[in-house]
Chain A
């Protein structure tokens, strides 16, 4: 084997790394550079940032609703705490599977994602004045969050897909809890 054809060689090396690390289905993002993290790592970082932003938008909405309706704060607190845990786990600094052979830890020192970047729903819209309407609104955003994570998991690495599926399930459960009639709430 000669040392010519560096481009092809790089591709082969990248393919080898892909086989060793977690394979990422449908990874077609262009890979021109030959330094820094691999295309797969960059793709996972991008997905992590995007997914964290989706859950961060829901988290911000919990805060906005609790601020506008202090009477709901107690009821929302456990759900808000779960949303915060989701955001932390999903982000680039979130826990990764223990066996990740070729990831260089120092490369991506990325910060927490921007606060509101929800793809749909209305995280930035004003909170409805009626508490019941505010809860319904929050439930709708939780459902949107679940759907967005569910769509994203198809292209994710196996362990991250598992996390996304769990967060999607939890978000759907939030929607259910937010709309369920609670004996304690007078409305």
Chain B
């Protein structure tokens, strides 16, 4: 259980690193009307990243470091693409948190479920619509 939880927490941490990087890009391109939302999401992901680093340490691991840069899933030349990127970032984060829910127990499981919920809510805000099973790629 602990090894699986540690692996899942590391994967979630890596995804949060990528999300923090990605929201840096989103913030630079998103329209003025949605800049506040991007800033809030950026801060939320930084907080989750830091919490996960602590979790990984608590589980006896060495927190995964962030990469210097991340490949974006598509070019982000304008505000519309920035919104699409933000939604995509939330989808990815939701996926790793659903795995963490499965691998963890107790408070860590609840925390992961809370993070999944926040990611799903942010995703529908960006996109204006949702998916039936956020974080479950096999049901997408």
Binding site for B on A (CB under 8 A): 25, 78-79, 81-82, 85-86, 89, 146, 150, 153-154, 158-159, 161-170, 172-174, 176-177, 180
Contacts and interface: CB of A to CB of B under 8 A. Distances in A.
B36 interface: no
Contacts of A82: 130-132
Given A25-B106, A166-B135, A169-B113, 5 more contacts: A150-B117, A165-B116, A165-B117, A170-B120, A173-B134
A157 to B, nearest CB: 9
Interface string B120-139: 11011100111111111001
A167 B133 contact: yes
B124 to A, nearest CB: 4
Given A150-B110, A170-B120, A176-B125, A89 B105 contact: no
B139 A174 contact: no
Contacts of A159: 102
A163 B99 CA distance: 10
Interface string B50-86: 0000000000000000000000000000000000000
A165 B109 CA distance: 9
B83 to A, nearest CB: 15
Nearest to B112: A165
B91 to A, nearest CB: 11
14 contacts: A82-B131, A146-B117, A154-B110, A158-B102, A161-B113, A162-B135, A165-B97, A165-B101, A165-B116, A166-B98, A166-B139, A169-B119, A169-B120, A180-B125
Interface SS of B by simple majority: helix
B110 A170 contact: no
Contacts of B105: 25
B5 to A, nearest CB: 10
B28 interface: no
A174 to B, nearest CB: 7
Contact of A168 (B109, B117, B136): B117
B124 A165 contact: no
Contact of A163 (B109, B128, B130, B136): B136
Contacts of A165: 97-98, 101, 112-113, 116-117, 135
B123 A170 contact: no
Nearest to A169: B120
Contact of A170 (B102, B106, B112, B133): B133
A69 B136 CA distance: 32
B132 A154 contact: no
Contact of B109 (A81, A86, A89, A153): A153
A153 B101 contact: yes
Given A158-B102, A166-B134, A166-B135, A173 B124 contact: yes
Contacts of B15: none
A7 B109 CA distance: 34
A177 B103 CA distance: 30
